[in-house]
């Protein structure tokens, strides 16, 4: 999938793919890709990055390819990622989405999570996992409460032939007082239900 699996800072690598029967494709750093059947793209990662390509035929036969490009000497991201991106976060809900391709659904998730820093992984052929770093969201503050909240999302998409796509949305929320730098885990299932339910509904297409 790439001509180089290790580069120095500032250098580029070229991702290539070929599946002549493919009708549409999605690349984690770019979204929808014009040349699905056969194409290439130059990438210039600032840190070690996992590139995920989803390619799909008109009959929804799907392939998920993942390629890590290591950047030598890069310090890495300051964002806090989960230790294991393939495990759900603190609160999880499951959805089923029919009549949409995995490529289109992946692009929808990427758009919905655009306000976060996002990484994507493919654990196995049928599963695509999105995880976000923690991001402070002032709008999560309850009225009258002198605290800030931060949220982290995980979205896993699993495709099995013509069956509806399985979507698992999970989140971890934490909070801190405005005059205290310590973070505490959120325990309110009502808040989790609201936050995860809103994102899950948008991914499933049941909410605008």
- 3-state secondary structure at position 204: helix
What is the tens place of the pLDDT at every residue in 133-179? 998 776 565 666 677 889 999 999 998 877 899 999 999 999 888 77
Domain residue extents for the chain:
1-76, 78-208
- HEC assignment per residue over 103-166: HHHHHHHHHHCCCCCEEEEEEECCEEEEEECCEECHHHCCCCCCEEEEEEEEEEEECCCCCCEE
The CA-based angle 28-34-38, given to 5 degrees, is 90
**C-alpha closest to that of 120 among 134, 106, 108:** 106
Share of the chain above pLDDT 90, in %: 55
The token duo for 67 is 């390629």
- Which of the 8 DSSP states describes residue 87? S
- What b/e sequence results for 162-180 when a residue is b if at least 16 CB atoms lie within 10 Å of its CB, and e otherwise? eeebbbbbbbbbbbeeeee
Long-range residue pairs from 187-190, CB within 8 A, at least 24 positions apart, any chain: 189/91
How far is it, in rounded angstroms, from Cα 169 to Cα 150?
17
Residue 145's pLDDT is what? 64
Give the pTM: 0.89
What is the tens place of the pLDDT at every residue in 15-68? 999 999 999 999 998 999 988 999 888 999 888 888 999 999 888 788 898 898
**C-alpha closest to that of 63 among 130, 127, 131, 157:** 127
Beta bridge partners of 118: 132
Class of domain 78-208: alpha beta
- What b/e sequence results for 9-38 when a residue is b if at least 16 CB atoms lie within 10 Å of its CB, and e otherwise? eeeebebebebeebbbbbbbbbeebeebee
Which pairing describes strands 118-124 and 91-97: parallel, antiparallel, or unpaired?
unpaired
1-76: which CATH number, 3.40.50.11710, 3.90.1150.10, 2.30.40.10, 2.60.40.2470?
Answer: 2.60.40.2470
How far is it, in rounded angstroms, from Cα 175 to Cα 184?
5
What is the tens place of the pLDDT at every residue in 54-97? 999 888 788 898 898 999 987 777 788 898 999 999 999 999 99
Q: How far is CA 18 from the centre of its chain?
A: 24
């Amino acid at each position: 999938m790439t001509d180089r699996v290790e580069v120095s800072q500032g250098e580029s690598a070229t991702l290539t793919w070929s599946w002549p029967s493919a009708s549409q494709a999605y690349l984690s750093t770019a979204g929808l890709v014009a040349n699905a059947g056969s194409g290439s793209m130059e990438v210039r990662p600032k840190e070690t990055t996992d590139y995920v390509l989803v390619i799909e035929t008109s009959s929804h036969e799907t392939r998920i390819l993942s390629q890590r490009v290591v950047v030598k000497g890069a310090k890495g991201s300051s964002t806090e990622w989960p230790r294991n991106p393939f495990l759900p976060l603190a609160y999880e809900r499951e959805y089923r989405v029919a009549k949409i391709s995995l490529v289109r659904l992946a692009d929808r998730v990427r758009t919905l999570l655009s306000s976060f820093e996002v990484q994507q992984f493919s654990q196995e052929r049928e599963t695509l996992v999105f995880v976000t770093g923690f991001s402070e969201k002032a709008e999560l503050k309850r009225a009258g409460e002198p605290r800030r909240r931060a949220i982290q999302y995980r979205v896993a998409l699993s495709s099995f032939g013509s069956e509806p796509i399985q979507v698992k949305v999970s989140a971890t929320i934490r909070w801190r007082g405005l005059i205290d730098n310590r973070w505490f885990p959120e325990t309110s299932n009502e808040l989790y239900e609201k936050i995860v339910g809103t994102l899950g509904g948008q991914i499933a297409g049941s909410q605008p």
